[in-house]
A = this chain, B = another copy of it.
Amino acid sequence: MQSKKFILSEKDIPQAWYNVVADMKNKPRPLINPGTKEPLKAEDLYPLFSKAASQQELNTTDRWIEIPDEVREMYRIWRPTPLVRAYGLEKYLDTPAHIYFKNESVSPVGSHKLNSAIAQAFYCKQEGVTNITTETGAGQWGAALSLAAKHFGLELAVYMVKISYEQKPYRRSIMQTYGAEVIASPSMSTKAGRKIITDHPNYQGSLGTAISEAVELAMSTPNCKYVLGSVLNHVALHQTVIGLEAERQMEMAGEMPDTVIACFGGGSNFSGISFPFLRYKLSGERDTRFIAAEPASCPKLTRGVFQYDFGDEAGYTPLIPMYTLGHNFSPANIHAGGLRYHGAGSVISQLKHDGLIDAVDIPQLETFEAATIFARTEGIIPAPESSHAIAATIREAKQAREEGKSKVILFNLSGHGLIDMTAYDRYYSNDLANYEVSQEEIDNNVKNLEKII
């Protein structure tokens, strides 16, 4: 564990977020209004999101978007986060690779999610919104938004995927400690929830369903906005503080990553660490490789189709051009609840389609093996989600050893796993499985997508 930290000072917190869309030659295809089948305008999003977020969502021209002072002020609670050279892990793997990780687990809620939660809550407050609502999988996003909502004096209702509500009661308690209301999803409180409970009485929920419920509540409640923790462009935008800090810290370390790795659910932490480095690939200056590490049980980037699809299970959201397993895909109950989502955002999907980023899928048991190695060599118990990035990093580092090639790997430690210890218990008790998805299941689930538009 002779790790080395690279530490920035508070004045190094970025002044602006990086909007990768401005630099993309092939822009992502537009979001579509499912009623009119026309490309969405920002105004179409105003009923659902804050105006600022809506405008950021569709901004394809401004490379840099200023971070409001109130948001930077809140970032100072835990930012800048450390970049760490993982000497302990390198030594254990006996690899010539240099391994770095950006430690986003040091936030008070234990993950990177606070970067966007603060920004979105601020914009809602600024526009006079009083109530907000959201979904959460493992609870990382819900915990972050609970803290942000409390700070800005907003009332918050969180739809938490039922399987996580039961598997991760501590994250529910954390949200309640910050003053939020938490509802297990699917619930009886919405039409979307009632329908899926009726159709599938034992359904344990998914992010797609929870999003439907939160959207429905927002649309039917006065002065209430919906806030999303991943997938959309403005969320990815807010997360770019991760990569922007990491870039300066890699400069301190005297090298730049050949490979950047992050776990992948809806894309928020992957985008956050990758996009700032991707701008040098888009400009032709550097040939960095980007690897999204997704669960083998929810493999949209590696095995999904590139199609317009809904962002939620009930079909309330705009149509998004995405790599998707179909919005009715029902992911297995893996412990990485934050990665149980059927699709990728439009920007990531376009980048993947254009060969600018890669993806790998990792079985659950391999992620817990990687997590244990990391805990014992670097001292930090990682979140099951982040463990996908660690497993992909270990694969790359082993390959470097086999090829006798030095390379520089940077991964994002999106969160710690201190709230996920039941998952570790089950792994050590040989009580976890890998949950492969059959091609037939995927084919069946995506076969009707072409009819959507």
Contacts and interface: CB of A to CB of B under 8 A. Distances in A.
Given A177-B381, A376-B150, A428-B176, A77 B170 contact: no
Contacts of A76: 3-5
Counted per complex, copies of this chain come to 2
Contact of A77 (B3, B109, B147, B179): B3
Interface in A144-173: 147, 150-151, 169-170, 173
Given A3-B77, A110-B418, A421-B170, A376 B179 contact: yes
A73 B173 CA distance: 36
A432 to B, nearest CB: 14
A7 B10 contact: yes
Interface string A370-382: 0010011011110
Contacts of A379: 77, 108-109, 147, 151
A147 to B, nearest CB: 5
A173 B424 contact: yes
A419 interface: yes
B73 A2 contact: yes
B5 A10 contact: yes
Given A10-B5, A173-B424, A178 B375 contact: yes
Contacts of A1: 74, 77, 151
Contacts of A147: 379
A151 to B, nearest CB: 5
A9 interface: yes
A174 interface: yes
Contact of A174 (B3, B151, B381): B381
A106 interface: yes
Interface in A399-453: 416, 418-419, 421-422, 424-425, 428
Contacts of A108: 379-381, 416
A150 B176 CA distance: 35
Nearest to A10: B5
A76 B1 CA distance: 10
Nearest to A376: B150
Interface string A1-25: 1111101011000000000000000
A378 B169 CA distance: 23
A352 B174 CA distance: 37
B169 A421 contact: yes
Interface string A100-134: 00000010111000000000000000000000000
Interface string A360-372: 0000000000001
Interface string A45-89: 000000000000000000000000000011011000000000000
Contacts of A150: 376
Contacts of A174: 381, 418, 421
Contact of A173 (B106, B173, B425): B425
8 contacts: A5-B76, A170-B419, A173-B425, A174-B418, A174-B421, A177-B381, A179-B376, A418-B418
Given A4-B76, A77-B378, 13 more contacts: A1-B74, A1-B77, A2-B73, A2-B74, A5-B77, A108-B416, A170-B419, A173-B424, A173-B425, A174-B381, A176-B425, A177-B376, A419-B419
Interface of A: 1-5, 7, 9-10, 73-74, 76-77, 106, 108-110, 147, 150-151, 169-170, 173-174, 176-179, 372, 375-376, 378-381, 416, 418-419, 421-422, 424-425, 428
Shortest 5 CB-CB contacts between residues of A and residues of B: A173-B421, A170-B421, A108-B379, A108-B380, A1-B151
